[in-house]
Amino acid sequence: MQSGYVLIHQPDRPNSDANGYIKRSHLVWETANDRYIQSGEIIHHVDGCRDNDVSENLRLMTPSEHGSLHMAGKTGENHPNYKHGKYVGKYAKYKKNP
């Protein structure tokens, strides 16, 4: 596993990594949709569980759509860049919500 993703060794598969592994979620989605995932496409796990690779739980998205989905409703202390009472990184210009 890599960061919660199940990896399958398939060195001849397009999009496999340098060691010949590909995420199982990608194999499941590609099989169910009869095409390969293209550059600039992301597979999102609808229930948030990275090892639940049933096709109904997988959704193809762009990186922009995926980022927006994960940021929806995250403001103030719920924002992923909010640490120890202040924003960090590129979000440091924002102030804590009253």
- pLDDT tens for residues 32-86? 999 999 999 999 888 888 889 999 999 999 988 888 876 765 555 554 554 455 5
CA 95 to chain centre: 28
Maximal CA-CA distance, the chain: 54
Instruction: Please report which confidence band the pLDDT of residue 97 belongs to, taking 50, 70 and 90 as the band edges.
Output: very low
pLDDT for res 16: 93
Instruction: Please report which confidence band the pLDDT of residue 2 belongs to, taking 50, 70 and 90 as the band edges.
Output: low
Query: Helix or strand or coil: residue 43?
Result: strand
Q: What is the pTM of this model?
A: 0.68
Domain boundaries, the chain: 7-91
Distance from C-alpha of 63 to C-alpha of 41, rounded to nearest angstrom: 7
Residue 43 is encoded by which pair of tokens?
């597979």
Contact 80, 74 (CB under 8 A): yes
